[in-house]
Amino acid sequence: MYSYLIPLYLFLFVHYGWSEDTTHKYTTKYDNIDLENVVKNERLLKSYVDCLLEKGRCSPDGLELKKNMPDAIETDCSKCSEKQKEGSDFIMRYLIDNKPDYWKALEAKYDPDGTYKKRYFESQKDEVSKVEA
């Protein structure tokens, strides 16, 4: 199973939502959101980043994300659907490649010692090894 880094959760849970009952999977209500369009909208992207960094107002889904993100990070996205995990990978790669300042700011706040980043990259190596085998 993939381990996921904090900045991934930014968009995963903003766009896919959370279930109120944390013993179940996160809601799939937002699984059909087009994440490519979201990342291309700088205003929307920045508003979510600012919310998480406590630099701006939060939309209702942004507040929910900020409230629940630590659980998602600590449980390695164990409550995520496959589509949500794929969305997480997409967002992570987008932020690293296109928005490194956002990526670094979110890491500094939510993963200052690099614990989750290390776990994520180790899991990616494991997945590549499985594909190559």
CATH class of 6-132: mainly alpha
Residue 91 pLDDT exceeds 70? yes
Specify whether the CB–CB gap between 47 and 62 falls below 8 A: yes
Among 81-85, 100-104, 109-113, where is mean pLDDT lowest? 81-85
**DSSP at 30:** T
Q: With a threshold of 0.85, does the pTM exceed it? A: no
Domain ranges of the chain: 6-132
Distance CA 119, CA 133 (A): 21
What pLDDT is recorded for position 1?
A: 46
Give pLDDT tens digits for 43-67. 989 988 899 899 999 887 777 677 7
